[in-house]
């Protein structure tokens, strides 16, 4: 099964990063979103990120131009029906993802592979709502996509070997490393990472340390490149909370109970960098702890 043309659903932070690396690796990319502004913004961001790679001599100007030429955009989800592989990278809400796949189904080629970039939702459950559960799997990129080397490949209970092999070949062509994960809540990376972030929020909630002391302790004491609260702001506190809820609901273990303070920040709309406030306030020149 040779994959040449790939459809990407969602032109946000993850979607534009996925389109970027696919086009740079030689794939024809069709990027879809419900907003024309989101699509034009995504192409601008991809161009800017490619320029950064050119300036750092990671790629040539010619490679950048060729990559941009391989990216087309569309507001019509149905246009993705003729691609060989679809990577859904919409918001981390199961109802949204299900609706996207249901809308796509009537337009798909018989052999098109469907995948989701979900960071935590059951692949088996998403696949069961389609007409091709054997050709459905999780294709989870890390953020920021052009920089991070890992891609989690998650088989649903029905995913066949041909589908897994075809998706692994895409990861290999991107020059990234694939990790095979079983379809349990949050897979590998977020199963380990999110409880650590949640515990850092509990440490703040209980007054054990301040935002600054918690982040400095993990950076200098555990050699982490970024503190857990700083990282939570980068990921998005709403995403962190959503994944903790998936873990708590899916595994029924109280150790995954989201910290009430994390819930409170999300209720306030303080979601991190994307809203300019989270555990840090980003509205000035230098981020300032909010607690």
Q: Give catalytic residues, as residue numbers.
A: 119, 140, 152, 190
Q: How far apart are CA 28 and CA 209, in angstroms?
A: 49
- Angle subtended by helix axes 189-205 and 211-221, to nearest 10: 140
Degrees, nearest 5: CA angle 68-69-74:
90
Q: Which residue has the tokens 């043309």?
A: 5
Say how far residue 282 (Cα) sits from the centre of its chain. Answer: 22
What DSSP line would sit under 254-291, residue for residue? GGGPPPHHHHHHHHHT--BGGGTBSSEE-SSSS-EE--
Q: Where does residue 186 fall: left (phi above 0), alpha (psi -120 to 50 degrees), or beta otherwise?
A: left
How far apart are alpha carbons 18 and 217 in whole angstroms? 33
Rounded CA gap, 241 and 257, in Å?
10
């Amino acid at each position: 099964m040779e994959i040449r043309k790939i459809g990407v659903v969602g032109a946000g932070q993850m979607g534009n990063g996925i389109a970027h690396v696919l086009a740079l690796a030689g794939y024809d990319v069709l990027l879809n979103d419900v907003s024309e502004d989101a699509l034009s913004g995504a192409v601008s961001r991809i161009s800017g990120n490619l320029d950064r790679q050119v300036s750092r001599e990671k790629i040539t100007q010619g490679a950048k131009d060729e990559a941009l030429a391989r990216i087309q955009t569309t507001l019509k989800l149905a246009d993705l029906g003729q691609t060989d592989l679809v990577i859904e990278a919409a918001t981390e809400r199961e109802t949204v993802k299900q609706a996207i796949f249901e809308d796509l189904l009537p337009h798909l080629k018989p052999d098109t592979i469907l995948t989701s970039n979900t960071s935590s939702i059951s692949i088996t459950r998403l696949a069961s709502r389609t007409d091709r559960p054997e050709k459905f799997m999780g294709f989870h990129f890390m953020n920021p996509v052009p920089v991070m080397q890992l891609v989690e490949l998650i088989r649903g209970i029905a995913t066949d070997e041909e589908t897994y092999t075809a998706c692994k070949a895409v990861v290999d062509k991107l020059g990234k490393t694939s990790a095979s994960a079983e379809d349990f809540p949050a897979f590998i990376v977020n199963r380990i990472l999110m409880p650590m972030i949640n515990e850092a929020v509990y440490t703040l909630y209980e007054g054990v340390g301040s935002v600054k002391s918690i982040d400095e302790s993990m950076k200098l004491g555990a050699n982490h490149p970024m503190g857990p609260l700083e990282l939570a702001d980068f990921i998005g506190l709403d995403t962190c909370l959503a994944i903790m809820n998936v873990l708590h609901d899916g595994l029924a273990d109280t150790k995954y109970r989201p910290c009430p303070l994390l819930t409170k920040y999300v209720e306030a709309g303080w979601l991190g960098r994307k809203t300019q406030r989270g555990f840090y306030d980003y509205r000035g020149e230098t981020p300032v702890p909010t607690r």
